[in-house]
A and B are shown apart, each in its own frame.
Chain A
Amino acid sequence: MSNANEKFQFVKIDEFASEHISAPHYSYWKSVFKQFFKSKLAIAMLIMAAVIFSISMIQPLFSNYNPMASPDISDFSIRFNRPNLTFWFGTDHWGNSLFDAVWSGARTSITIALLATSINMGLGIAVGAIWGYNKILDKYLLEIYNVVANVPFLLVAIMLMYVLGPGFWQLIFVLCMTEWLSIAYFIRTQVMIIRDREYNLVSRTLGTSSVRMISRNILPFLTSVIVTLLSREIPSIISSESFLSFLGVGLPPQITSLGKLISIYITYYGTYPYLFWIPVAVLASISVSFYIVGQTFADASDPKTHR
């Protein structure tokens, strides 16, 4: 009976007990990486991208490949060697090692892609953020965008390359010339969606400056969108570069790139197919691996996928 009495005695409740949050601390980036590494495909692609990137940055330092020099041009025995243990990717019509050529070309292509992407993204995000945020600016920029967006990119790019003449920086200029504006436009639309959410109104009542508003209230919400853009931008620049090089406008003869290799070796598409297919495979591997890594990362950086 005493037991029963005890059971029916009042208990003092701790009013603060329920204020505690028992769940472990949430960290945005930790959750992003956790989510990313759940995908086996993404891990494989990340490794592939890392390997391709490292080889193409390091190998050319040792090979000293120079498309202008063909030291073994008189040695017919090393022309058109199929891939073998000495020449892993075989040799071409001048007896140059395709292995050296491909990595030298990959280095150029990746460098151009990374440089142009950084410029495009940097400029695009900065302009897009201000563009989406400022209603007056929007009117004018929209007009400019409408004009630029309706000009066919390749046509202008080819024309400009003729005018500017071939060159590494000329090519980067052409690849960045209009592309950043379409990124800016995309960002602008995203910013406009977020701009009118209520917490931004709150920030205004707290006297928050526009710069802080963009950097703390808006851009953090665009992480996923920006990564998605990035993952599309790198492969797209690589293919634009290749296409321009393929057409013979773009890089000067002394600099090789994957696009140029493909345009040279397409002649041997029927007779020595490895000359064509190996650079194409490397080009595709770069694009695909960067793209899948980027897409998975973009998905992972959307907090809706976190738990």
Chain B
Amino acid sequence: MERKVILSARDVVVKFRVRDRVLTAIRKVSLDLYEGETLAIVGESGSGKTVLTKTFTGMLESNGFIAEGKIFFEDQDLVQIKNNKTWEKIRGSKIATVFQDPMSSLNPIRTIGTQITEVIIKHQKKNSKEAREIAIDLMDKVGIPNAADRFNEYPFQYSGGMRQRIVIAIALACRPKILICDEPTTALDVTIQAQILELIKNLQKEFGFTTIYITHDLGVVANVAQRVAVMYAGQIVEYGTSHEIFYSPKHPYTWALLSSLPQLGIKGEKLYSIPGTPPSLFYEVKGDAFAQRNPYAMNIDFEEEPPFFMITESHFAKTWLQDPRAPKVELPSAIRDLHATIVKIYGKEGV
């Protein structure tokens, strides 16, 4: 099925100046985002998942810069944008972001209502009465009970989950084409997390935006994403549909991430654990960045960087294991029949 690409990144390299050294946070990442889909980017901290999406909204920290590459969005190369004015036409209005900590996105001394209406007035050119109506409607849609009554309350009067709903309402106020959710539920309780995930999915159906969901939690990925990109040490190492990534992953890092999930642990047995730590990105990485931690590492992994191998039309993996010359390796037993295993552990319906 031919689908429309809404945003396209090509060979993006992002570097940071840290004191007098240079850190390469993103190492030649290419990515296509299709209209209306939910793409999850998974990786541990420092893998570059947040940095990558910050380049889409021009929000890199001041010591960071895009050294190479192009990012196309609406016939325009975002890398070329230099002034803040142009960014303001895109950031917030066309590409909006929801961050992990709702408190950091809200002004503690202004009412919830004014914080939503101000965005509506600015981007949609409405008068304050119309804006108020739209805002209350939005608050209603993100699941704030008695929205009209709570319009004039302050952020501290809201619970963590409710605040995150408000942040989502503000993000949606200008009807963005792309919503970037950067670990929006990590700071929340599990039951609240489930509610927020539901909410985002429902809103997506209603508003029709495209979602990039950043998380380190594969459980969340399985819930929200149609497509998944796995990041490691500043690169995407595997991407494919959600079913491909969970039921027939090809990259040993994806295997390791899945196998080490406590959800899959069998009592009395050890969980698979990934040895070591990711490489320092202050130095140039030789070969496959995951080689040092990879139980399936081959000699070539320490010498040459693997290319992307195509597994299906939609599934690509950056590992030498896919090379025809490489020995055949089976999926680790812990994740071989993922669905069956989970059903066995948690019962038919899951739980």
Contacts and interface: CB of A to CB of B under 8 A. Distances in A.
| Direct A/B contact, Cβ within 8 angstroms | yes
Interface of A: 4-11, 13, 15, 17-19, 307
Interface of B: 19, 275-277, 291-303, 320, 323, 325-327
A11 B291 CA distance: 9
Contacts of B326: 8
Nearest to B304: A7
Given A8-B326, A18-B292, A13 B297 contact: yes
Nearest to A10: B298
A307 B275 CA distance: 27
Contacts, number: 46
A18 B293 contact: yes
Contact of B298 (A8, A15, A307): A8
A9 B299 contact: yes
A78 to B, nearest CB: 60
24 contacts: A4-B325, A6-B299, A7-B298, A7-B300, A7-B303, A7-B325, A8-B299, A8-B300, A8-B323, A8-B327, A9-B298, A9-B299, A10-B327, A11-B291, A11-B297, A11-B301, A13-B291, A13-B292, A13-B294, A13-B295, A17-B276, A18-B277, A18-B293, A307-B19
A10 B297 CA distance: 6
Given A7-B303, A8-B320, A19-B276, 10 more contacts: A4-B325, A8-B298, A10-B327, A11-B301, A13-B293, A13-B294, A13-B297, A17-B292, A18-B276, A307-B19
Q: Which 6 A-B pairs have the closest CB atoms?
A: A18-B276, A7-B300, A15-B275, A8-B326, A8-B325, A11-B297
A298 B343 CA distance: 61
Main secondary structure of the interface of B (DSSP, over half): loop
A23 to B, nearest CB: 10
A8 B292 CA distance: 15
Contacts of A18: 275-277, 292-293
B96 to A, nearest CB: 33
Contacts of B292: 13, 17-18
Contacts of B277: 18
A165 B46 CA distance: 68
A233 B276 CA distance: 49
Contacts of A19: 276
A15 B299 contact: no
Contact of A7 (B276, B291, B293, B299): B299
Contacts of B291: 11, 13
Contacts of B323: 8
Contacts of A17: 276, 292
Contacts of B301: 11
A198 to B, nearest CB: 18
